[in-house]
A and B are shown apart, each in its own frame.
Chain A
Amino acid sequence: MSAQPAVNTEGYTTADGRKIGGVLMEMKNITLRFGGVVAIKDISFDIREGEIRAIIGPNGAGKSSMLNVISGFYVPTEGEVWFKGYRRGPMKPYQVAQLGIARTFQNIALFDGMTVLDNIMTGRLTLMKTGLLAQAMWWGAAQKEESAHREKVEKIIDFLEIQAIRKTPVGRLPYGLKKRVELARALAAEPKILLLDEPMAGMNVEEKEDMCRFILDVNDEFGTTICLIEHDMGVVMDLSDRVVVMDYGKKIGDGTPDEVRANPEVIAAYLGVAHD
């Protein structure tokens, strides 16, 4: 990381009166190529502290690729990622996670053989201080730390209303609950930015409403900055403060839901235009 903090401190106020802070993360001219295929073409946008930022677009627009760039699973071919006013060098996904960027996956990546509680506890690994030797030598300290973390995790379990399944192995849970456990694990890391890859995919209406409520509550209660990818326009427009619209790897719109909804290019991408 090069020194040169340049945080944009001015924020804005949302329609519902929430104060949004300065720029937390900035993507500068990101391009991502796989061989000859260009997944992301020269895209720039920022994520501000405390906001719910959405990336939307039709199938294959490059949304997930963008999320993978943010979380370090892909290294951009060109462009820079700035986080907290510093340029982030090429990093392994686990290092990005240690910076405080937690994520969920489109196809759910949980530890199926472990219980819900254990799964969520793994979310706190980056926050645990006691080292390997210390744990072996001085069991007391490690245990004290463990119970402190356990307390935080229990809070999250209560918050997401999954008390009843805390001892169940995750492999046995239905889809909707798995998604919620994954959110809980990401939250347990007390992330600076929470990345959600299609949190509502494959859910029924009731589950979607629950998930929406949780996302809003998380943002409200913990002040967590959230960046989410969604397919479902309706959900995104209700949920997010600002929206980036992608199509075929390019950015075709960026702004508040209302601005985006009125953007003719966005309408064309989603509804198609008549060719005459």
Chain B
Amino acid sequence: MLPDQILFALEVTLNGLMAGVMYALVALGFVLIFKASGIFNYAQGVLALFAALTLVGFQNGQIPFAHLINATFGTNLHTFGWTLPGIVAIALTAGVMVGLAWLIERLVLKHLVNQAPIILFMATIGLAYFLEGLGDVMWGADIKTLDVGLPQGISETVESATAALLGYGFFIDNLDIVATIVAVILVASLTIFSQYSKQGRALRAVADDHQAALSVGISLRFIWVLVWSIAGFVALVAGIMWGTKSGVQFSLSLIALKALPVLMLGGFTSIPGAIVGGLIIGVGEKLFEFTIGPMIGGATENWFAYVLALLFLVFRPQGLFGEKIIERV
């Protein structure tokens, strides 16, 4: 039998891995848009929030803009009076995210073709604040619980199995296990899509050179709507996982900040990089808190990821899997 200390460290590592998957889910959305359009999409976190809000709204049969309608017409409307099953609500929300992608292309991106990346970045900041406000007005600013039927709480199977095997029961959240499985499927399908499908190739082509992409018959508009739809879908998945874990509220959009160090580690252009970066940060911050944390007064999880990212910027600015840009002179 292993000593308890080591087993505990092992459990911490496992929990770190699971937390890392949750970070990676958010980082994935950033990578997709960055790969396809060279835009750092500041709005990705808010997209996740917006998706989660919409999902809860649909599920509970909330009337969108209820507060606005009530305030204007003096009515007292709140819900349609139905509750939808989780899967239906998810499908409807996915549809909304596609519509949103189409609107973003129509109203924002279309007018910014061939602009410098910084302009597009600013546009996404504007988009982030707009969506945040829209989410509030549509669905209300109160904290909501999200339950689409995903298993939650400590997994008893894992606990009893490890207890029998090692004499020490591991505490692992069911939701984290689900998140891991979902993330693996998501990454595998996205990688296959981008590497081997017609649209995936077109997507990479657009990311590389707009003019050349046009000359081989690729419609930029279609590709942009596609990319933002996928990013919206990934945001929805992240929103479901994080929303189930810690409730749907404004602070959900701040998970985007946690994705930043993940991106710096994994590289802005690599889908597997987002996953590996997420895992390293998840495990790193848990282990650091567990080993060094007590010596320096704890709460290291607040800053560990950022310091790690800073170190990476110094020694390997392109990240673990990012493309190193070699230019012929």
**Which of A's residues lie within 8 Å of B, judged by CB?**
71, 73, 92-95, 97-98, 102-103, 105, 109-114, 118, 121-123, 125-126, 128, 130, 132, 135-136, 142-143, 146, 171-172, 174, 185-186, 189
B107 close to chain A: CB less than 8 A: no
Binds A, one of B94-102, B141-149, B191-199, B245-253: B191-199
**CB < 8 Å: which of A122, A142, A172 contacts B216?**
A122
* A98: B residues at CB distance < 8 A: 217
Interface residues of B in 171-221 (CB under 8 A from A): 193, 196-199, 201-202, 204-205, 207-209, 211-220
Within the assembled complex, what's the spacing in Å between the Cα atoms of A109 and B326? Answer: 17
Listed from nearest, the 5 A-B pairs whose CB atoms lie closest are A97-B217, A109-B212, A111-B208, A126-B217, A93-B214
**CB < 8 Å: which of B204, B216, B327 contacts A189?**
B216
> Distance (Å) between the CB of B185 and the closest chain A CB?
13
B328 close to chain A: CB less than 8 A: yes
Q: How many A-B residue pairs have CB under 8 A?
A: 89
* A114: B residues at CB distance < 8 A: 204-205, 208
Q: Is the CB of B328 within 8 A of A118?
A: no
B4 close to chain A: CB less than 8 A: no
Given A128-B198, A130-B198, A172-B328, CB of A94 within 8 Å of CB of B212: no
Q: Is the CB of A185 within 8 A of B216?
A: yes
* B213: A residues at CB distance < 8 A: 94, 111, 122
Given A94-B214, A132-B199, A172-B328, CB of A113 within 8 Å of CB of B219: no
> Distance (Å) between the CB of B312 and the closest chain A CB?
21
Residue of A nearest to B325 (CB): A171
Within the assembled complex, what's the spacing in Å between the Cα atoms of A113 and B202? Answer: 13
Within the assembled complex, what's the spacing in Å between the Cα atoms of A12 and B212? Answer: 35
Given A113-B323, A171-B328, A172-B326, CB of A97 within 8 Å of CB of B197: no
> Distance (Å) between the CB of B223 and the closest chain A CB?
10
Given A130-B198, A135-B197, CB of A105 within 8 Å of CB of B215: yes
> Distance (Å) between the CB of A161 and the closest chain B CB?
21
* B216: A residues at CB distance < 8 A: 97, 102, 122-123, 125-126, 185, 189
Given A118-B201, A125-B202, A130-B198, CB of A97 within 8 Å of CB of B215: yes
Within the assembled complex, what's the spacing in Å between the Cα atoms of A142 and B193? Answer: 11
Q: Is the CB of A122 within 8 A of B197?
A: no
Within the assembled complex, what's the spacing in Å between the Cα atoms of A125 and B215? Answer: 11
Interface centre among B201, B202, B213, B226, by most chain A C-beta atoms within 10 angstroms, is B201
Q: Is the CB of A125 within 8 A of B326?
A: no
* A95: B residues at CB distance < 8 A: 217
With A93-B214, A135-B199 known, 17 other A-B pairs at CB within 8 A are A73-B211, A73-B214, A93-B215, A97-B215, A97-B217, A109-B209, A109-B215, A110-B209, A111-B204, A111-B213, A113-B323, A121-B201, A130-B198, A132-B197, A132-B226, A135-B198, A146-B198
